[in-house]
Chain A
Amino acid sequence: MQINFEPMPNSVTHLENNSPSRLKNNKTVEEHKEHEPDLQTQSEMRRESNGSPKDTAVTNQNGDQPHENVIHTQIIKKDNPFFNYMQDNVDGSDENGKNDDDDENAKNAGSDDNEDQLLQPNRRKNSKERRRSSVATSKDSSPDVPYNTLNHNASGMTKEGKKRAQILEASKVSEGQGRTYIAYAIKYGDSIVKRRYSDFESLRKVLVKLFPISLIPPIPEKQSLKSYGKAMTYSKSSYLLPTESGDSVDLSLSVINGPVTTNDEKLIRHRIRMLTSFLNRLLKNQEITKTSIVYDFLDPNNKNWNDLITSSLTISSLPKSVLQCNPIDPTNTTKAHSYLPVPSSSTQLLASKDNHSASDADEFTKIEAEFKNYEQLIHSGLYKYSRATTKEVNYLREDLKGISSEFAQLSTDETKNESGLAELLSHSSDAYGTLQEILETLVGNLHYNINEPLSECAHMATAVRDLIHYRRLKLIQKDILERTILYKRGQLIKFQQQENDHKQIDNMVKEELGTNGAVNLENPAGPQSYSGKFINKFTQLAIIIKDSVSYQEQDPAAAARSLEKELIQLDETLKVATSDLVVISETLKNTELPNFIKERDEELTQIFKNYAKYMKENATRNLEIWKELHNRIQEA
């Protein structure tokens, strides 16, 4: 251990001071060597020296991986999401490994101050914009909720917490060999970073692993990329979106003003919308923003996110299964966690199918049912039928367009008629043309500001159900553990009994030997030489021995000892599992679910408000058109 941390004297001291949760420090030299780019070490050191004691506490997530005989050894601060993010992205160029540590530090310190001043007006502007957009009833997901200001962490965090991420543009990027992908330009603060869909995907995967009991917002499904890539070739390669829409993700304006022509554009906008929302939900999450991971993602200096993730030991050394990690801090997984059984998929299936048969008709059974129901209602109810309605309204719009042109045709055929019918029909044609436009607006509003948010709600519902399901799995895990312990205990008792039997037999043998001292067991001359009583006892003994041997090929005493050991281990694991479950349940019940419900209620209420608003607007505009037409008919 000392060897490992030799290049980082600071961290050694920290480690020794703050490593309460670390069970074992058996870090191996090989592990350390496994990845050793110098520049990383240097940047670690740099950050380490800036780090507050808190980071270092998190630094010691040396979760044991006993199966592989490997335990987390080195913590790379840069990669560690639990690392308290101190520096601003702008100058923290990791490639500059050659820079002197001290120089870097000085630079960072200086720029921090500058940044503070620079960001002040920005922050004010942002909040102003936010206010404006909320007055204009921006439809976006809860723009009125003040972004978590992270008061608990008064360091450099606050300024980060105020900013919102915004996707400005999606553009086609060539990967070589004719392959292309769509890059999303994300603006965060003053920097712009380009990320592709798979980056978001891997970010989310990592987050799910790192924060098993936090609600990780959803990203859009990977869908129909084939047609998407193809169509991109034929259409514009870049989709510019309004950049000056304040801090809300309001894409509606661009859509209403510039109608979307292809499904690909729709898909891209859908993605942009959802990905923006994903990032901002992350930036709002107090747990996640305690770490640097999202900021790293938004940092343009991290050019290749995938490389960053794959090279990160923190992430690669996470337990394979989220069920085998410390739910509160997976990087701090203990050895006990590694003993946790992972329920087989069939068990999981069984559990998800019938929640009630399990021994745990607890309060979560109701919660589970409720959230399942909620997901169903949103996804296969509200979202589905709102979308179907919008689709039909859009078809109706086309019908109205046809009616308009038919009236126009009728009008031109009536031009010789002097009764004014031609004008009348022409007015009707105009009216229907306008009605069609009104419906187009409505369709755009419904699609982008009702259906899309509803779809997001449905995704969120799935995410929250996954979270609840995680707890369910942990419960099953505990259940399995308890039953295993029960079974092993039974076995232990059996072994102990056998051992007792052995002892008894030994005693018996000794007794027999004591009484008939002449018997030579080493050279049995044959049963006939023994007394009938002894033969009887001897065969009995043989049978017992045979029994026990066939039962367990081991020496019962040794088996019992190893079982005892195992049981101690299991008890330890059960203790962990039980306390984890309590923490998970508490977190879900007291934090995650209420937070989700609060946010959800706000979002849904906003959606309903917007829906009502659109219906009213639509009715008002329609009314105008019909009134005008009616007047013209009366005049004619």
Chain B
Amino acid sequence: MSESGTLTNKESDTKILSVLVSDPQKQKTHSQTYITYQVSTKIDGKDEPNCVVRRYNDFVLLHQILINDHPALLVPPLPDKKVLNYLSGDRFSHSFTQKRCRSLQTFMRRLLSHSELSKSRILETFLTSTDWDVYRRSLTGQISTSEVSDVLINAFKHVNRQRDEFVEIKEKSEKLDHNLSHLDKLFHKSVKRVDLIGQNLKKLQSSLSGLQELCCDEKELSNSIKAFNDGTMQLIDSLNDLNKYVDYEYNVDIKDMINYIEALKQLIRLKDQKQIDYEELSEYLTRSINEKNNLLSGYGSGNYFKSKLEELAGINQEMARRDKIAKLETRVQSLTDEVEKSKQVADEFEKEVLKEVEQFEQIKTLELKDSLAALAQKHIDFYDDMVEKWSKIEERLESA
């Protein structure tokens, strides 16, 4: 685990070393069927890992609470709900639960890698508490599920003054998102391809069996066929295993990384929102000050007809003017406060986000490296095995 995973828990001084999400199990109650995952936490000073059983909805709740509690932090995303899988009933399939398990593991790992989030109390409760269910029920209804609604309101407004850093960050995450999506597609394609290769090899292998049967009288040939056939069968099995790994783990990692970038982009949009709030307020303030200044300086060119009309209506112009100036003055006063506040918020947020981006970069690098290493290791195992097996087959063919 990374160094951030060993951070001391602020609340209870519990040192969480690592978390393992594993063993997806199908649970059936009288009313519903769902999958549970075993979450085992290694805590410093304890030999035995602390094990709890959680279901996907528990993770969702944890995620929600974290977002509510830490709006300025990059809370790692959860795997998609995959509504389609729910509809088609595939959500209990082996591949689906395996992939989700992998994603949940990544989620936990990211939380632990995060300097702030790993210290959160709710995480500890989630990981260790046997009363989680009680806690969950007490919270029901309090947590809003609209994660993004406030950000979406102003989705079409853009920040006027953008710091160069953020321009770069945005550009970079866009590119990364784009490239990883491509990579994801390609790896999926290759998985399907290898699957087809496996299928064809299987058919080839059954033809070989047929041929072997047919040529059973010719000892030499049938021995050769048998040797080759054995090799093909082993190849099919190992290839299948390797392909499953790529599909269930490596591809899921890429997908999770794409989701993580999405979360980062979301956070930046939230930051932009704060900035937009501030910018709008300052603009309003400027306008109010201008108006007040115009009134103070006597008349504005645009106000000529208006004042004439008011004069005709018998309104005391001077009185109204003074009244207006007074109103504007209070507005400017309060707006100045607001602008000050929102500027603070925006600046604060920006600082936080910059820190988050930095953390994201670290986690990203680590993850990409780790999953590549694992991918390489799997391939090494596969080809090591293949070299050995085919060498044996070759020997058998030579001696046949």
Q: Report how far A601 CA is from B220 CA in the complex, Å.
A: 8
Q: Which of A304-312, A314-322, A416-424 contacts B (4 or more CB under 8 A)?
A: A416-424
**CB of B93 closer than 8 Å to a CB of A:** no
- On whether A382 and B208 interact (CB within 8 A), knowing A605-B400, A609-B398, the answer reads yes
- Whether the Cβ atoms of B197 and A393 lie closer than 8 Å is yes
**CB of A493 closer than 8 Å to a CB of B:** no
- On whether A608 and B224 interact (CB within 8 A), knowing A382-B207, A410-B183, A616-B391, the answer reads yes
**CB of A362 closer than 8 Å to a CB of B:** no
**CB of A407 closer than 8 Å to a CB of B:** yes
- Whether the Cβ atoms of B383 and A623 lie closer than 8 Å is yes
- Whether the Cβ atoms of B365 and A421 lie closer than 8 Å is yes
Chain A min CB distance to B249 (Å): 16
- Whether the Cβ atoms of B372 and A428 lie closer than 8 Å is yes
Q: Which residues of the partner chain A approach B225 to less than 8 Å between Cβ atoms?
A: 604, 608
* 1/0 contact string of A593-628 vs chain B (CB within 8 Å): 000010001001100110111011001101100110
**CB of B335 closer than 8 Å to a CB of A:** no
> CB < 8 Å: which of A399, A417, A620 contacts B190?
A399
Q: Which of A284-292, A384-392, A584-592 contacts B (4 or more CB under 8 A)?
A: A384-392
Q: Report how far A377 CA is from B393 CA in the complex, Å.
A: 22
**CB of B26 closer than 8 Å to a CB of A:** no
- Whether the Cβ atoms of B197 and A392 lie closer than 8 Å is yes
Q: Report how far A385 CA is from B224 CA in the complex, Å.
A: 19
Interface size class of B (residues with CB under 8 A): 35 or more
- Whether the Cβ atoms of B211 and A389 lie closer than 8 Å is no
- Whether the Cβ atoms of B394 and A400 lie closer than 8 Å is no
Chain A min CB distance to B176 (Å): 6
Q: Which residues of the partner chain A approach B368 to less than 8 Å between Cβ atoms?
A: 421, 424-425
Q: Which of B70-78, B100-108, B276-284, B373-381 contacts A (4 or more CB under 8 A)?
A: B373-381
Q: Which residues of the partner chain B approach A535 to less than 8 Å between Cβ atoms?
A: none
- Whether the Cβ atoms of A612 and B176 lie closer than 8 Å is no
- Whether the Cβ atoms of A377 and B201 lie closer than 8 Å is no
Q: Which residues of the partner chain A approach B227 to less than 8 Å between Cβ atoms?
A: 608, 612
Q: Report how far A625 CA is from B167 CA in the complex, Å.
A: 38
Q: Which residues of the partner chain B approach A395 to less than 8 Å between Cβ atoms?
A: 193
Q: Report how far A400 CA is from B394 CA in the complex, Å.
A: 28
> At the interface, is chain B mostly helix, strand, loop or mixed?
helix
Q: Which residues of the partner chain A approach B214 to less than 8 Å between Cβ atoms?
A: 370, 373-374, 377
- Whether the Cβ atoms of A619 and B390 lie closer than 8 Å is yes
Question: Which residue of B is nearest A631, CB measured?
Answer: B376
A-B contact count (CB 8 A): 160
> CB < 8 Å: which of A373, A378, A611, A622 contacts B383?
A622
Interface residues of B in 160-210 (CB under 8 A from A): 172, 175-176, 179-180, 182-183, 186-187, 189-190, 193-194, 196-197, 200-201, 203-204, 206-208, 210
Q: Which residues of the partner chain B approach A370 to less than 8 Å between Cβ atoms?
A: 214
- Whether the Cβ atoms of A399 and B221 lie closer than 8 Å is no
Question: Which residue of B is nearest A374, CB measured?
Answer: B214
**CB of A544 closer than 8 Å to a CB of B:** no
Interface residues of A in 468-502 (CB under 8 A from B): none
Question: Which residue of B is nearest A404, CB measured?
Answer: B186
Q: Which residues of the partner chain B approach A378 to less than 8 Å between Cβ atoms?
A: 211
> CB < 8 Å: which of B172, B220, B379, B390 contacts A605?
B220
- Whether the Cβ atoms of B208 and A409 lie closer than 8 Å is no
Q: Report how far A611 CA is from B387 CA in the complex, Å.
A: 13
**CB of A192 closer than 8 Å to a CB of B:** no
Q: Which residues of the partner chain B approach A396 to less than 8 Å between Cβ atoms?
A: 190, 193-194, 197
**CB of A403 closer than 8 Å to a CB of B:** yes
**CB of B369 closer than 8 Å to a CB of A:** yes
**CB of A633 closer than 8 Å to a CB of B:** yes
Q: Report how far A623 CA is from B365 CA in the complex, Å.
A: 25
**CB of B228 closer than 8 Å to a CB of A:** yes
* 1/0 contact string of B214-246 vs chain A (CB within 8 Å): 110010110011011001000100000000000
> At the interface, is chain A mostly helix, strand, loop or mixed?
helix
* 1/0 contact string of B382-400 vs chain A (CB within 8 Å): 0110110011011001101
> CB < 8 Å: which of A389, A421, A604, A630 contacts B221?
A604
- Whether the Cβ atoms of A381 and B193 lie closer than 8 Å is no
- Whether the Cβ atoms of A605 and B221 lie closer than 8 Å is yes
**CB of A406 closer than 8 Å to a CB of B:** yes
- On whether A613 and B365 interact (CB within 8 A), knowing A374-B211, A389-B204, the answer reads no
**CB of B362 closer than 8 Å to a CB of A:** yes
- Whether the Cβ atoms of B221 and A612 lie closer than 8 Å is no
Q: Report how far A424 CA is from B377 CA in the complex, Å.
A: 15
- Whether the Cβ atoms of B200 and A626 lie closer than 8 Å is no
Chain B min CB distance to A426 (Å): 12
- On whether A612 and B394 interact (CB within 8 A), knowing A392-B197, A623-B384, the answer reads yes
- Whether the Cβ atoms of A403 and B379 lie closer than 8 Å is no
Q: Report how far A352 CA is from B201 CA in the complex, Å.
A: 32
- Whether the Cβ atoms of B211 and A382 lie closer than 8 Å is yes
- Whether the Cβ atoms of A612 and B193 lie closer than 8 Å is no
- Whether the Cβ atoms of B200 and A392 lie closer than 8 Å is yes
Question: Which residue of A is nearest B187, CB measured?
Answer: A403
- Whether the Cβ atoms of B182 and A381 lie closer than 8 Å is no
* 1/0 contact string of B319-352 vs chain A (CB within 8 Å): 0000000000000000000000000000000000
**CB of A68 closer than 8 Å to a CB of B:** no
- Whether the Cβ atoms of B369 and A421 lie closer than 8 Å is yes
- On whether A633 and B235 interact (CB within 8 A), knowing A377-B210, A410-B176, A608-B397, the answer reads no
**CB of A636 closer than 8 Å to a CB of B:** yes
Q: Which residues of the partner chain B approach A608 to less than 8 Å between Cβ atoms?
A: 224-225, 227-228, 397
> CB < 8 Å: which of B194, B231, B380 contacts A627?
B380
- Whether the Cβ atoms of A385 and B187 lie closer than 8 Å is no
Question: Which residue of B is nearest A378, CB measured?
Answer: B211
Q: Which residues of the partner chain B approach A385 to less than 8 Å between Cβ atoms?
A: 200-201, 203-204, 207
- Whether the Cβ atoms of A612 and B390 lie closer than 8 Å is yes
- On whether A419 and B361 interact (CB within 8 A), knowing A382-B211, A424-B368, A428-B372, the answer reads yes
Chain A min CB distance to B226 (Å): 10
> CB < 8 Å: which of A381, A420, A604, A634 contacts B224?
A604
Q: Report how far A402 CA is from B186 CA in the complex, Å.
A: 7
Give the residue among B200, B214, B218, B377 with the most A Cβ atoms within 10 A.
Answer: B200
Chain A min CB distance to B61 (Å): 34
**CB of A103 closer than 8 Å to a CB of B:** no
Question: Which residue of B is nearest A396, CB measured?
Answer: B193
Give the residue among A395, A407, A608, A619 with the most B Cβ atoms within 10 A.
Answer: A608
> CB < 8 Å: which of B190, B365, B369, B380 contacts A626?
B380
**CB of A553 closer than 8 Å to a CB of B:** no
* 1/0 contact string of A159-188 vs chain B (CB within 8 Å): 000000000000000000000000000000
* 1/0 contact string of A564-602 vs chain B (CB within 8 Å): 000000000000000000000000000000000100010
- Whether the Cβ atoms of B376 and A633 lie closer than 8 Å is yes
Q: Which residues of the partner chain B approach A636 to less than 8 Å between Cβ atoms?
A: 369
**CB of A90 closer than 8 Å to a CB of B:** no
- Whether the Cβ atoms of B197 and A389 lie closer than 8 Å is yes
Question: Which residue of A is nearest B218, CB measured?
Answer: A601
- Whether the Cβ atoms of B383 and A619 lie closer than 8 Å is yes
Chain B min CB distance to A423 (Å): 11
Q: Which residues of the partner chain B approach A34 to less than 8 Å between Cβ atoms?
A: none
Interface residues of A in 353-381 (CB under 8 A from B): 370, 373-374, 377-378, 381
Question: Which residue of A is nearest B208, CB measured?
Answer: A382
Q: Which residues of the partner chain A approach B182 to less than 8 Å between Cβ atoms?
A: 402, 406, 409
Q: Which residues of the partner chain B approach A399 to less than 8 Å between Cβ atoms?
A: 186, 189-190, 193
- Whether the Cβ atoms of A626 and B379 lie closer than 8 Å is yes
Q: Report how far A428 CA is from B197 CA in the complex, Å.
A: 24
In the assembled complex, 5 residue pairs joining A and B whose CB atoms fall closer than 8 Å, in A order, are A381-B211, A403-B186, A406-B186, A421-B364, A611-B228
Interface contacts beyond A388-B203, A413-B172, A608-B227: sample of 4 additional A-B pairs, CB < 8 Å, sorted by A: A399-B186, A406-B179, A424-B368, A612-B231
Please give me the 3 A-B residue pairs with the lowest Cβ-Cβ distance, nearest first: A381-B207, A619-B386, A616-B390
List residues of A whose CB falls within 8 A of some B CB.
370, 373-374, 377-378, 381-382, 384-386, 388-389, 392-393, 395-396, 399-400, 402-403, 406-407, 409-410, 413, 417, 419-421, 424-425, 428, 597, 601, 604-605, 608-609, 611-613, 615-616, 619-620, 622-623, 626-627, 629-630, 633-634, 636
